Each structure stands twice: as structure tokens, then as C-alpha cells.
Amino acid sequence: MTSTFDAARQIHNETDRFVTFHRCSACDRVLSIPEFIERHCEECKGYTKPVAVKERVS
């Protein structure tokens, strides 16, 4: 049974974890949740098409 737990821990430790956030397509600024929902960038003062960005987390 211990070998099963060790194998599960090893698999869990080897998996890559990512965090996803969204940035403005015009100014590359990370959008807040309300900005993402409304598709509106406060920096650009207009409509934006958010771009999803994944970043590896250790």
C-alpha cells in the first residue's frame, strides 16, 4: 500500500501546474476580472479582445 501512495505522490509532483490570466491585446496590461467580463480596458479606454496567457507555477 505504501508503494501506491509513493507512486501517486511522484505522479502528482511531476505534473505541471499553470495559472491562466488575461491581458489586453492592445497594451499587454493584465485585465482585472470586471475588465475581462466587460471586454473593456481601463488603460486603453476602449473595447479589447482579451488574450489568455498561461504561466507555469511551481
Report whether pLDDT(13) > 80.
Answer: no
pTM for the full model? 0.61
Domain boundaries, the chain: 17-57
21 vs 5: which has the higher pLDDT: 21
The Cα 20–Cα 56 span in angstroms is 9
Residue % of the chain over a pLDDT of 70: 71
7 vs 30: which has the higher pLDDT: 30
**For residue range 31-53, what is the model confidence (pLDDT) as tens digits?**
999 999 999 999 998 899 999 99
Report whether pLDDT(4) > 80.
Answer: no
On whether the CB atoms of residues 17 and 56 are closer than 8 A, the answer is yes
2-41 b/e (C-beta count within 10 Å ≥ 16 → b): eeeeeeeeeeeeeeeeeeeebbbeeeeeebeeebbeeeeb
Q: How distant is the alpha carbon of residue 7 from its chain centre?
A: 28
The Cα 56–Cα 26 span in angstroms is 24
